[in-house]
Structure 1
Amino acid sequence: MTLNCGAKAIEILEAYEGTLEDDYPPENERCEHGEMLLYKISLLEECGFIQRAYEELLKKEFKIVDKLAVKEQLVSLFVKLDCLEEGDKLYRALLSMNPDNYRYYEGLQKCVGLFSENGLYSPDEIDRLDALYKSLGQEYRWSSAVKRIPLDFLQGEKFWEAADNYIRPLLTKGVPSLFSDLSPLYDHPNKADILEQLILELEHSVRTTGDTLGVGSPYLDDFSEGIIWFEGGLSQGMEEGSYGGG
């Protein structure tokens, strides 16, 4: 949306608000009115009126029914206003409600100064990110996202360990989407090689000795199914040339 279009839309919404008695809608229209207010605030943000959007949100918050959306809008404004300490606290609060929301992790990284648009980090930044996600992993042990995200920035032995920790339970469950989930990593030849070697070792261990799951485990069939799904995706990726690597 262009700046002029956004500004015009804001004018229209404000004109509508002016038609409401006491600036408040009927009881049966509260949800829709709250959505309209959030839309107006998002337009203000999109048009670059960050401080105005923040003030509008604080002023109209009590009229908005969707409190989660209020928190998400507020934390976005915190980041853009460089209120990073407040943003850090609110993103952590949001993660406590939904620890598998990737946007919350990205926002938290921005607040602690560890976010890169191109995904490239210095060795020191990688160490700090690793420490951050290990800490978050202790809080959200059942979160898939907190285990998956580090695969994007870790390298070498740490990548192997993190990939093993992430892949093993998903293969155990026979998750068909595992390959598509990991396929972006195949743009990195070193990671592609590690993933292929890891999968082969897990497969060999299970099929020959029953290690990893234990001999007679009821999950052996699911693990084998997961291997089949992953190898199928791997073969398709190689045929389509969708990634580099050995």
Structure 2
Amino acid sequence: MSGRPFRNIVILTGAGISAESGLGTFRDKGGIWEKFDWQKLATPEAFRSDPHSVHDFYNARRANMAGAQPNDAHRALAALELLWQAEDRGSFLLVTQNIDDLHERGGSREVLHMHGELLKSRCNSCGHLFEHTHALGVETACPSCARAGGLRPHVVWFGEMPLGLDTIYEALGACDLFVAIGTSGTVYPAAGFVSEAKAAGAWTVELSLEPGEVSALFDEHHYGPATKIVPEWAGRI
């Protein structure tokens, strides 16, 4: 760890932080996209051509998520955020690629879900966005416009732009510490965040089960289960 004091932190988390809670990763060996065809389940075109199958897929993900619990890695980040705010050390932004709610249930207060949230739905007809924790189908009516057939999971599909990028890039340009946790570094734009942070002069840290695609760009590396290495790193901070 760099010996300099840090004020402004940006933390990026990926599927690896939730894997030990029983939620499958998407791109790893044996992951969800090896078992399912993303082109038929995670694109706007797939939803238009076969909304029933898309809803069935995400309803299963939603049910699986309901049975998962936050782990020590989630709780360690929540404790770090609380400390940072209590001592007014600087800014703290937690960005996640995950669509689960384990960060929030683990105690994190402010989480930017750049790939959306599975427990929210939005209406293609009127744009209404709302919390929706149970199964969704083509027969489900929008609570705002009352139309059925237009509701979709509030998740970012292939071919769609991630959410909150302006906020993220602004924070990366001002941070002095960037940490990537449980992410493979294969999906852009998230894989490029480390380069943005380094350009701003930040110290960069990779916490992961194994090296990712952009590991060479990080100043510091810690490899192992998230429930072990994340609390250890957070404790040193």
More helix as a share of residues: 1
Asked if TM exceeds 0.5, the reply is: no
More strand as a share of residues: 2
TM-score w.r.t. length of structure 1? 0.22
Q: Report which of the two structures shows the higher radius of gyration computed on alpha carbons.
A: 1
